[in-house]
Structure 1
Amino acid sequence: MRTRLTAFAAALFLAPLAHAQTSQPPPPTCEAAEHRQLDFWIGEWDAFRSDTNAQVGRSSVTREEAGCVIHEHWTAANGGVTGQSFNIFERMSGQWEQYWVSSNGEITHYIGGPIENGLQLTAVGDRSAIAPGAVFQSRVTLTAQPDGTVRQVGETSGDGQTWTRRYDITYRRRPE
């Protein structure tokens, strides 16, 4: 009899907890359209200067962390700089954020949003190995091209109005 009472009391105590756990909404996922705005960039790529067609690197871009993070691994063609970017749509701000880190100690935090056929991200107050001690803005634009390539343009600005192109790269899918 005592065992039955103990089991009954435990059931009465635990029932509200079980109900509370099952009535909570499921955690958010990254399946909404805004989380898919960079899907065009996912893949294995060879990267070329857009003006001379000289190969400048290779890039592997994957979707990770339950589909919430677009992760790039970059390797320069000359064996120089390697780097990674972590890209995520931030629900609270409604903007994309990218953290770029590289083998030369560079770290840049970009914030931005969608543009026609792509995404534009800007870093304000950026410091870079390009001009030690200088403070400027950096901007990266990724655009899906009609032929299936992806164009990435990097620019800098001292005033946020006039932009100077640092690089212009075309990503071409690596043959399988």
Structure 2
Amino acid sequence: MAELHFIQGDLTEHSCDAIVNAANSSLLGGGGVDGAIHRRGGPEILQACQEIRRTQLPTGLPTGQAVATTAGRLPARWVIHTVGPVYSTSEDRSELLASAYRESLRVADEIGARTAAFPAISAGIYGWPLDDAARIAVHTVRDAPTQVADVTFVLFGEQAYSAFTAVA
């Protein structure tokens, strides 16, 4: 079981083995955390994502799944890209959100990461209510079988930080 930590800050500045990116299925960059990771990490990340699209995932990364690339210029060895679900009031997509965290940890284990940093997946532009996103994230990571020893939730803003620490 990984030891959990919570900090308010910029995920792209966090030093660890693997930074988790709340990506979109195209893997080709976007807004929010995804855009920040691609901008700060440099073109190496985009090139790696393009190669994955060309060779492994021609239609994109499915929601709830994860894949690793280089971290480029980020203070990490790898970026683990995962696609969280868009929040829906008419369909329970909680399992897909939990899967994004579990699959990220599975990929971290495959690449040998001992430390990992997560954002609040799906809690930005994908509209997931922050308190529920925090509950799912913390419980899923806490319960996931993993060799990752240390997981840090790097949360942007006081509201996200408060929601996550309230669950811890």
TM-score, structure 2 normalization = 0.33
Q: Which has the larger radius of gyration?
A: 1
Structure number with the higher strand fraction is 1
Q: Which structure would you say has the larger RCO, counting Cα contacts within 8 Å and 6 or more residues apart?
A: 2
Structure number with the higher helix fraction is 2
